């Protein structure tokens, strides 16, 4: 397929595809799916080999959020039966992190619900970061605390944070449809604050909220322009008790196409399969490893994930290897910091429109009648409980 050959060539050169090419990937047929995975896999292997980076989530403060993000089980007004608790103490968070590191995680992601941290919250998280770093040699720590105020990113970096996560989630045009208590511009501002403070920026999306192909391409192109080092691709977990509980729009095949499109647009960044992979990719999860070079190990913030042991077996059975703490995740040109010059997308030479031709129509998305609510399990173990974590 000429389209895929073109996209592979561009991916190996870090050249930005055209919007038409990205949309064509999302429109490929199921008959062409393995060709799409193989093509994007060439780009993934060129930049990241067969390594898979493991990340582990610690929910520092669960529920009780004043924001109204429609997709979130912790939102204002959520009726989802999730765990609710206030801040974990630094030693509690460090113990939770240690379980993930023992399971093979290279990065620990510290998350707290809320609009954004107070200065006291930053102090609290700084103490937690220091405790984790003292007890786990070589571990990376990423903070995800919401919208940042001036100076807070610098303080987190001084405390030892390596990265900061704040997702764009969806396109700017449709952002107001899922959240009204803050804006898309607020999110962009926080990612830029993380960049400016010297933190590795992590920002991604959520697929499956009823968005169009154009919305998906818009947000991934916006991410390319923001130039984060890692791009988590979440697949909506439709929690009962949230406004998007009936949004069952994804098939495993569509999830793979979304990951492939993300890889082609962001060829040399850490593409992470994040929340919802078990719910929507299901038995096709191993194929997704040919597209993404990073996953979360075990459970998520408020939902249960695949058993950590099963994650490790899946990686090995698919012919991949867990990335060690002594290995650098990013390619040399990114790890050296050469891509964050504020001048737009890294390695973007623009490029003209390559005549890829019209793509075949994709299969029909799932409907509410196909909902797999049996695969949505609320987390009842790990952080905030007396039960052992899944790692």
Domain ranges across the chain: 2-375
Residue pointed to by tokens 């623009």:
350
pLDDT at 362: 41
- Give the annotated binding-site residues for [4Fe-4S] cluster: 65, 69, 72
- Give the annotated binding-site residues: 65, 69, 72, 109, 142, 202, 272
pLDDT at 296: 96
Of 184-188, 261-265, 375-379, where does mean pLDDT reach its minimum?
Answer: 375-379
- Give the annotated binding-site residues for [2Fe-2S] cluster: 109, 142, 202, 272
pLDDT at 86: 92
pLDDT at 139: 96
Q: Which is more confidently placed, 54 or 137?
A: 54
pLDDT at 72: 86
- What the block records as the tokens of 314 is 């899946």
Helix axes 33-48, 252-265, angle to 10 degrees: 40
Percentage of residues of the chain with pLDDT beyond 70: 92
**Catalytic status, residue 266:** no
**Catalytic status, residue 69:** yes
Distance CA(349)–CA(10), nearest Å, equals 10
Which member of 142, 144, 266, 339 is catalytic?
A: 142
Distance CA(147)–CA(166), nearest Å, equals 8
Which member of 124, 157, 272, 366 is catalytic?
A: 272
Q: Mean pLDDT score of the chain, rounded to an integer? A: 90
pLDDT per position as a tens digit, 167-177 = 999 999 999 99
Distance CA(271)–CA(7), nearest Å, equals 17
Confidence band for 76, pLDDT divided at 50, 70 and 90: confident
Helix spans in 159-212 (H): 175-178, 184-196
pLDDT per position as a tens digit, 322-371 = 999 999 999 999 987 645 543 344 443 333 333 333 333 444 555 544 78
Residues 6+ apart with CB under 8 A from 219: 168, 169, 170, 171, 172, 205
Residues 6+ apart with CB under 8 A from 317: 286
Confidence band for 390, pLDDT divided at 50, 70 and 90: confident
Answer left, alpha or beta for residue 140, where phi above 0 means left and psi between -120 and 50 means alpha: beta
Which member of 14, 51, 69, 255 is catalytic?
A: 69
Which member of 109, 144, 255, 266 is catalytic?
A: 109
- What the block records as the tokens of 21 is 């090419």
Which member of 14, 44, 51, 65 is catalytic?
A: 65
- What the block records as the tokens of 111 is 């998350």
What's the predicted TM-score (pTM) here?
Answer: 0.91
Instruction: List residues bridging with 321 in a β-sheet.
Output: 51
pLDDT at 301: 85
CB 152 within 8 A of CB 118: no
Q: Which CATH code, of 3.10.180.10, 3.90.1200.10, 3.20.20.70, 3.30.565.10, is assigned to 2-375?
A: 3.20.20.70
Which member of 14, 44, 72, 379 is catalytic?
A: 72
**Catalytic status, residue 142:** yes
Which member of 144, 202, 255, 346 is catalytic?
A: 202
**Catalytic status, residue 339:** no
Burial pattern 335-363, b for ≥16 Cβ within 10 A else e, equals eeeebbeeeebbbeeeeeebebeebeebe
Average pLDDT of span 200-226: 97
**Catalytic status, residue 202:** yes
**Catalytic status, residue 346:** no
């Amino acid at each position: 397929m000429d389209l895929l050959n073109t996209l592979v060539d561009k991916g190996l050169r870090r050249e930005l595809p055209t919007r038409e090419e990205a949309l064509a990937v999302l429109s490929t047929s199921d008959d062409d799916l393995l060709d799409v995975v193989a093509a994007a896999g060439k780009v993934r292997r060129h930049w990241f080999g067969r390594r898979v980076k493991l990340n582990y989530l610690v929910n520092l403060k669960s529920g009780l959020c004043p924001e109204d993000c429609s997709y979130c089980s912790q939102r204002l007004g959520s009726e989802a039966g999730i765990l609710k608790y206030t801040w974990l103490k630094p030693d509690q968070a460090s113990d939770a992190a240690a379980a993930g590191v023992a399971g093979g995680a290279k990065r620990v992601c510290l998350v707290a619900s809320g609009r954004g941290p107070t200065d006291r919250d930053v102090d609290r998280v700084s103490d937690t970061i220091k405790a984790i770093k003292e007890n786990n040699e070589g571990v990376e720590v990423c903070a995800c605390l919401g919208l940042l105020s001036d100076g807070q990113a610098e303080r987190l970096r001084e405390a030892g944070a390596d990265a900061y996560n704040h997702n764009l989630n969806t396109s700017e045009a449709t952002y107001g449809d899922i959240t009204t208590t803050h804006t898309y511009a607020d999110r962009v501002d926080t990612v830029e604050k993380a960049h400016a403070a010297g933190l590795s920026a992590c920002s991604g999306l959520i697929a499956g909220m009823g968005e169009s192909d154009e919305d998906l391409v818009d947000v991934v192109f916006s991410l390319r322009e923001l130039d984060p080092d890692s791009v988590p691709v979440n697949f909506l977990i439709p929690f009962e008790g949230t406004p998007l509980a009936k949004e069952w729009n994804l098939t495993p095949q569509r999830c793979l196409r979304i990951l492939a499109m993300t890889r082609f647009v962001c060829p040399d960044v850490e593409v992470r399969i994040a929340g919802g992979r078990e719910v929507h990719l299901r038995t096709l999860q191993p194929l997704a490893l040919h597209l993404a070079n990073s996953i979360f190990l075990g459970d998520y913030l408020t939902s249960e994930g695949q058993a950590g042991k099963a994650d490790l077996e899946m990686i090995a059975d698919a012919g991949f290897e867990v990335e060690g703490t002594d290995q650098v995740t990013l390619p040399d040109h990114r790890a050296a910091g050469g891509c964050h010059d504020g001048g737009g997308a890294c390695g973007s030479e623009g490029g003209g429109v390559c005549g890829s031709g019209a793509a075949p129509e994709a299969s029909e998305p799932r409907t509410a009648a196909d909902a797999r609510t049996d695969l949505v399990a609320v987390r009842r173990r790990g952080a905030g409980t007396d039960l052992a974590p899944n790692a």
